[in-house]
Amino acid sequence: NAGVTQTPKFQVLKTGQSMTLQCAQDMNHEYMSWYRQDPGMGLRLIHYSVGAGITDQGEVPNGYNVSRSTTEDFPLRLLSAAPSQTSVYFCASSYDLAGGLGTTDTQYFGPGTRLTVL
């Protein structure tokens, strides 16, 4: 298993440009999410999905779009990049986040994408 893969590893954008961060998992996980990591802020949830065709907003969704057409893929779109979106982005997946006792609740993170917006 490749686990959770993210592309690209690094990206530099100019203000106003758009791009898509790719995320894929091969563990047949229903739950996938996107986080951004900023110094002193921990990881903040951007968007998440509990299955194909189902997405919802997290803590900091503004400026980002997501879709989930397949179980495996969960791309994150930046519509018009701003310097405030400079961050490290992590995708994660799990079988069942915080499930009941006896369930598998490990959330697996990808290696991250370091994005700089000039």
Partner 1 sequence: QQQVKQSPQSLIVQKGGIPIINCAYENTAFDYFPWYQQFPGKGPALLIAIRPDVSEKKEGRFTISFNKSAKQFSLHIMDSQPGDSATYFCAAAIQGAQKLVFGQGTRLTINP
Q: How far is the CB of 51 from partner 1 (least distance, A)?
A: 10
Q: x/- string (CB under 8 A) for partner 1, residues 63-92?
A: ---------------------------x-x
Q: Are 25 and 1 in contact (CB under 8 A)?
A: no
Q: x/- string (CB under 8 A) for partner 1, residues 87-106?
A: ---x-x----xxxxx---xx
Question: Beta strands of 1-118 (E only): which ranges?
Answer: 4-7, 10-13, 19-25, 31-38, 42-51, 54-57, 64-66, 76-78, 87-94, 107-109, 113-117
Q: How far is the CB of 27 from partner 1 (least distance, A)?
A: 14
Tokens of 30: 């229903």
Q: How far is the CB of 16 from partner 1 (least distance, A)?
A: 29
Q: 81, exposed or middle or buried, with CB in 10 Å at 0-12, 13-18, 19+? A: buried
Q: Identify which of residues 14 and 101 has a Cβ nearer to partner 1 in the complex.
A: 101
User: Which residues in this chain contact partner 1 in the complex, by CB under 8 A?
Assistant: 4, 31, 33, 35, 40-45, 48, 50, 58-59, 90, 92, 97-101, 105-112
